[in-house]
């Protein structure tokens, strides 16, 4: 009985194998290329012999069957084996996704660090918002690195007036602090119905309040008048750059009077409609025009501004003659330096020096470095610093809080750079000549800069044992290191290396 059962089972196994081979003829043709479709099938003994000779797992792979046996030889269910294989495949996919995500995060982190290292603190070039033959006004755009100033609700402007040029009467919707860095001129504004005026020159600092009508004239016959301005844009509508509202003008620029019905204007001014039409259409030269000359017998006469007799009569009724307001600009260049040595000087003006600065919560500064000199590494605890390079060229270095270099950038005359509050920085003059920059700070209080190097280093105020342990160096080495530099604030740079070819 046992022999019969064994033979019976063996026979069925052979028959099943043969049927499997016939049913998978395409797979067999692929597996055994020596037996193409147009040839007869191999004999059963040959077929069985070749099947037995082949490893079972290879045959399974060719026939794309699930494994029937585990690696340790234990029988498993075909369906269970399929599920295990699927689970292994999912685990491999998850592992691949995890590695890919880690690589992407690493690449993003690397890109972020690279971006930080390459970040620019030199502001983008200003755009021209007014341009005529007589001058131009450029404003800082609100995109890119400049957006940091926008976030602080600050705007920067650069006004240039050619000799004998006039910026026509207007008011703006932002408090303005301006600093004259070239030329001289005259600023006039309307206060309580009277025209006030002051003469301004290089180094003068003055303020125009939001909504105050003002105009500016370059009286010089041979030099351009250049003004660097900072604006507090907190009150500006729709978070834009400040707006100019021209109270005088015509077709170009349009005066704000043009927005009213001419009949209403004729009524409120008690003028004829023709006079109103003439007033609103005569000016076509733009916001900055060449000035034709004042009538000295009546300096408030608007005819000298080229605005027409009708407007002259109207303005005379409401404005009148210029008077002395008692307000005077404060001259940065004439102020005594806060610090000076053989390598340069620094000068600052704060609210305690000039009341207008206290009202605007702004400060003004000037730095002059001789060739190769270094304004020692330091930070400003109270304000962001915005600087315009007015002479020479040099380098500014800024450091992130994590100790990595935020920027090392070359700057030259006309460049504008800023340093955020509390960010460590230093400036280095070129070896080829002096380097000067001036600008504004965002606080009217004294900055009290904290210097890292020099005889006044803040590090010297820390207990030697504490500082030495923090650096993990001997106290003696630390004290020697901190006392190597005898100078303060502005330090000598590296001496120029001698040219050995010229030494005899």
Query: 259 and 134, same structural domain?
Result: yes
Question: For 120-134, 170-184, 391-405, which range has the lowest pLDDT when averaged over its residues?
Answer: 120-134
Structural domains of the chain, count: 3
Q: Please tell me whether residues 11 and 144 are part of one structural domain.
A: no
Based on the domain organization, do 374 and 319 belong to the same domain?
no
Let me know whether 183 and 294 are in one domain: yes
Q: H or E element: which one contains 206? A: strand 204-208
* Res. 10: pLDDT tops 60: no
pLDDT in tens, 139-188: 887 655 556 777 778 889 999 999 999 999 999 988 999 999 999 999 99
Asked, for residue 166, whether it belongs to a domain, the answer is yes
In this predicted structure, what is the pLDDT of residue 204?
A: 96
Given a contact cutoff of 8 angstroms between Cβ atoms, the answer to whether 128 and 137 are in contact is: yes
Whether residue 477 is found in the same domain as residue 346 = yes
Residue 229 in any domain: the answer is yes
Q: What is the C-alpha to C-alpha distance for residues 21 and 121, in angstroms, rounded to an integer?
A: 76
Is the sign of the CA dihedral 323, 327, 332, 334 positive or negative? positive
Question: Concatenated DSSP letters for 121-150?
Answer: -BPPPPEEEEEETTEEEEE--SSGGGHHHH
180: containing domain: 127-323
Judge whether residue 136 has pLDDT over 70: yes
Q: Which of 38, 63, 88 corresponds to the end of one domain?
A: 63
Q: Are residues 352 and 291 in the same domain?
A: no
Domain assignment present for 354: yes
pLDDT band at 290 (very low <50, low <70, confident <90, very high): very high
| One domain, residues 426 and 338 | yes
Domain-terminating residue out of 18, 40, 63:
63
Please check the confidence at residue 114 and state whether its pLDDT lies above 90.
no
Does one domain contain both 144 and 291? Answer: yes
Judged against a pLDDT cut of 90, whether residue 322 lies above it is answered with: no
Are residues 388 and 297 part of one domain?
Answer: no
pLDDT at 253 over 80: yes
Q: What is the CATH number of the domain that holds 462?
A: 2.60.120.10
What CA–CA distance (Å, rounded) separates 382 from 379? 9
pLDDT bucket at 351, cuts 50 / 70 / 90: very high
pLDDT band (50, 70, 90) for residue 111? very low
What's residue 503's pLDDT? 33
Write down the pLDDT at residue 300: 45
Are 304 and 289 contacting, i.e. CB atoms less than 8 angstroms apart?
no
Query: Looking at residue 245, what is its pLDDT?
Result: 92
**Distance (Å, whole) CA 431 – CA 492:** 11
Angle subtended at Cα 84 by Cα 82 and Cα 88, rounded to the nearest 5 degrees: 115
451 occurs within a structural domain: yes
* Domain contains 418: yes
**Residues 280, 358 within the same domain:** no
Tell me which of 66-70, 254-258, 362-366, 407-411 is least confident. 66-70
Answer whether residue 250 is part of any domain.
yes
Confidence class of residue 296 from pLDDT cuts 50, 70 and 90? Answer: very low
Instruction: List all residues 6 or more positions away from 181 whose beta carbon is below 8 Å from its beta carbon.
Output: 202, 203, 226, 227, 228, 388, 390, 438
| Residue 112 placed within a domain | no
184 Cβ neighbours under 8 A, 6+ residues apart = 199, 200, 201, 202, 218, 219, 220, 223, 225
Of the three residues 13, 44, 63, the one that is the final residue of a domain is 63
Whether residues 236 and 174 fall in one domain: yes
Q: Do 339 and 318 belong together in one domain?
A: no
Listed range (6-15, 125-134, 384-393) with the worst mean pLDDT: 6-15
Q: Report if residue 143 sits inside a domain.
A: yes
**Banded pLDDT at 328 (limits 50, 70, 90):** confident
């Amino acid at each position: 009985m046992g022999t019969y059962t064994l033979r019976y089972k063996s026979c069925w196994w052979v028959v099943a194998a043969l049927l499997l081979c016939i049913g998978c003829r395409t797979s067999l043709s692929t597996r055994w290329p020596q037996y193409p479709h147009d040839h007869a099938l191999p004999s059963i003994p040959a077929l069985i012999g070749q099947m037995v000779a082949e490893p079972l797992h290879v045959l399974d792979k060719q026939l794309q069957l699930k494994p029937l046996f585990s690696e340790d030889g234990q029988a498993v269910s075909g369906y269970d084996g399929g599920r295990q294989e699927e689970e292994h495949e999912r685990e491999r996919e998850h592992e691949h996704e995890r590695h890919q995500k880690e690589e992407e995060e690493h690449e993003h982190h690397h890109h972020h660090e690279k971006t930080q290292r390459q970040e620019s603190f030199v502001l983008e070039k200003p755009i021209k918002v007014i341009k005529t033959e007589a001058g131009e006004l450029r404003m800082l755009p609100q995109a890119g690195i400049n957006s940091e100033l926008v976030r602080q609700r600050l705007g920067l402007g650069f006004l240039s007036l050619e000799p004998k040029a006039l910026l026509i009467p207007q008011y703006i919707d932002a408090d303005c602090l301006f600093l004259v860095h070239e030329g001289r001129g005259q600023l006039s504004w309307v206060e309580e119905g009277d025209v006030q005026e002051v003469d301004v020159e290089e180094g003068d600092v003055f303020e125009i309040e939001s909504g105050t009508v003002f105009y500016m004239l370059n009286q010089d016959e041979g030099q351009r008048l250049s003004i660097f301005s900072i604006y507090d844009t907190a009150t500006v509508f729709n978070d834009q750059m400040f707006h100019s509202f021209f109270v005088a003008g015509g077709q170009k620029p349009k005066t704000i009077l043009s927005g009213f019905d001419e009949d209403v204007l004729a009524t409120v001014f008690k003028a004829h409609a023709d006079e109103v039409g003439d007033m609103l259409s005569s000016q076509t030269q733009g916001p900055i025009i060449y000035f034709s000359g004042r009538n000295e017998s009546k300096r408030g006469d608007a005819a000298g501004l080229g605005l027409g007799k009708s407007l002259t009569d109207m303005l005379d009724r409401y404005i009148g003659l210029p008077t002395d307001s008692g307000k005077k600009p404060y001259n940065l260049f004439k102020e005594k330096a806060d610090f000076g040595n053989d390598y340069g000087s620094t000068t600052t003006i704060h609210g305690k020096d000039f009341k207008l600065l206290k009202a605007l919560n702004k400060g003004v500064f000037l730095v002059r470095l001789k060739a190769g000199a270094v304004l020692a590494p330091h930070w400003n605890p109270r304000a962001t610093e915005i600087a315009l390079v007015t002479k020479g060229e040099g380098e500014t270095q800024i450091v992130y809080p994590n100790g990595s270099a935020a920027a090392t950038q070359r700057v030259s005359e006309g460049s504008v750079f800023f340093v955020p509050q509390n960010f460590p920085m230093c400036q280095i003059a070129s070896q080829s000549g002096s380097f000067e920059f001036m600008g504004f700070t965002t606080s009217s209080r004294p900055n009290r800069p904290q210097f890292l190097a020099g005889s006044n280093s803040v590090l010297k105020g820390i207990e030697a044992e504490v500082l030495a342990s923090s650096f993990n160096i001997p106290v003696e080495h630390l004290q020697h290191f901190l006392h190597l530099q005898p100078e303060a604030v502005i330090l000598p740079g590296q001496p120029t290396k001698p040219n050995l070819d010229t030494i005899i």
